[in-house]
Amino acid sequence: MLLDHNDSQLVLIDYQERLMPVLHDAQAAIANARRLVQAAALMQLPVWFTEQNPQKLGPTVAGLRPDDAPVVAKMDFSAASDLASRLRPPVRASAGNARSLPKHLQKPAEPEPGRNTLVLAGCEAHICLMQTALELLEDEFEVWVVTDACTSRTERNRDAAFDRLAGAGVELVTTEMVAFEWLRSAAHPRFREVSALIK
């Protein structure tokens, strides 16, 4: 199973000014998050950001979030409850006269076709990222976590999160894997621009 850019959304969790300086290898995680954002923009994918308690931890680090990318502020460690309804398109209104058939014979309304694959990266991997990923998985999204764009205060906590996520069925990938799976081919019109982000 490969990522499909037509079915993907990028969700970046809590890359915040006051949090990043205390995290392990934070600059590498930010650099890879920036590559993901740029690749998503080139491929015209939706990009979402979350901020944990922004009054205390500050905004997203400068230069990472495009001006048009929505930000979801949260107090819960998991962003799933705040994000899930925004990540899914609204349910279509049922067609026809609801009075024409008994309720048990009416077809349920179908959701609009949407992007069900979520590519997640963020901080801290063993708290906000992991709780969000697991709850979104329970909510029947396909969840992929970009390991080289995630971090925690310690490597042990970060790696424990990856072990738990993999055991739950989350796909673990790297920034390069995501970029080249979104492209699928060197013939893609954005190949040169996306591959330049990785080099």
146-169 pLDDT tens trace: 999 999 999 999 999 999 999 999
pLDDT at 106: 63
What domains lie within the chain, and their CATH numbers?
5-88+113-198 (3.40.50.850)
146 vs 120: CA distance, rounded Å? 6
Higher pLDDT, 101 or 118: 118
Q: Is the dihedral of CA 69, 75, 78, 81 positive or negative?
A: negative
pLDDT at 104: 61
Q: What is the mean pLDDT of residues 24-36?
A: 98
pLDDT band at 184 (very low <50, low <70, confident <90, very high): very high
pLDDT at 91: 58
pLDDT of 114 > 90? The answer is: no
pLDDT at 103: 61
pLDDT band at 97 (very low <50, low <70, confident <90, very high): low
**Distances from the Cα of 31 to the Cα of 10, 16, 26, 151, 174, angstroms:** 15, 14, 9, 12, 13
pLDDT of 92 > 70? The answer is: no
pLDDT at 107: 61
Residue 186 phi/psi, 5-degree rounding, is -70, -10
**Distances from the Cα of 169 to the Cα of 59, 69, 78, 144, angstroms:** 31, 28, 18, 9
